[in-house]
Amino acid sequence: MPVVMLTLHSFVISHFSEKIRWTLRACSLPFAEHALTPGLHMLQTPWIGRRGSSVPIITGDGLRVQGSDRILQRLATRGLIDSLLPDEDEARDDLLAAVARHDALGHAVMRTAYAPLLGDPATVLKMWTLAANPAEVAVLSGLMPLLLPLFRQRFRIDARTLAKARSTIEAALDAVAERRGNRAYLGAAFSIEDLTLCALLAPLAGPAEHPLYGHSTFRASAEVAAAAWARHPTLVWVRDVYARQRPAEPADSAVLKAAARL
């Protein structure tokens, strides 16, 4: 039975949203992306996902699932991402559990990438309004003095947590490099774990195949956070996997439209 068109409610700039976007494209699942504006999204997500303000959210075809790992679990249960999973049930469950554990890395990347930008409200505003209409840009511009301190507090972006985040990233980069060895992927074939790790590390790696993360303007803003690891074998691998496995965005995609505004 064909899959009904899904809707991905996302932040175009979010690497957790990128994880699901890439999964849907890799598995040829039809979807439309509804890009939300960070900060203003809090008025919308409780009605879309009913579990607070986090994204991504998938709706359609009887689905209403919030959070990237819960989305993957639900898509796997329906057999919609079999091409990225092992055949055996136990191995599938183990792999999805391993993917969920990488959330800590995703949060570490987010904290590390944002930390040098929080003193530059104009850059944050630009990144947060890549999919916004003029009215949303005006409203968010006025709210930035309130939102940035709240953002820093909510995600605990301070010296202690930043040190921990950098340690988490360094440990993950080294662990992936050691585990992969000389193989193209972590296992015998490209899987949802390879995809997840590459998506979550993409803001640091800056793969050319991603319209935003590979854009020169985004790279300039991320350079401070990413410079220490730019040549790390795992980030080189991320760029290589993007080149080989990331499907191109269609001409009308939300991410391409956002990149045109950088």
Helix (H) or strand (E) holding 146: helix 134-154
Tens-place pLDDT, residues 76-134: 999 999 999 999 999 999 999 999 999 999 999 999 999 999 889 999 999 999 999 99
Tens-place pLDDT, residues 7-17: 999 999 999 99
Q: Which residues of 165-198 are buried (b: 16+ CB within 10 A; e: fewer)?
A: bbebbeebbeebeeebeeeebbeeebbbbbbbbb
Q: Are 26 and 245 in contact (CB under 8 A)?
A: yes
What is the structure's pLDDT at 211? 96
DSSP per-residue letters across 205-224: H--TTSTTTTSHHHHHHHHH
Task: Round to whole Å and give the CA distance between 86 and 40.
Answer: 39
Interacting residues of 200 by C-beta distance below 8 A, sequence separation 6+: 15, 16, 19, 102, 105, 106, 109
Q: Cβ of 94: how many Cβ atoms within 10 Å?
A: 12
Question: CA-based angle 68:217:261, to the nearest 5?
Answer: 75
Task: Round to whole Å and give the CA distance between 144 and 147.
Answer: 5
What is the structure's pLDDT at 223? 86
Interacting residues of 79 by C-beta distance below 8 A, sequence separation 6+: none
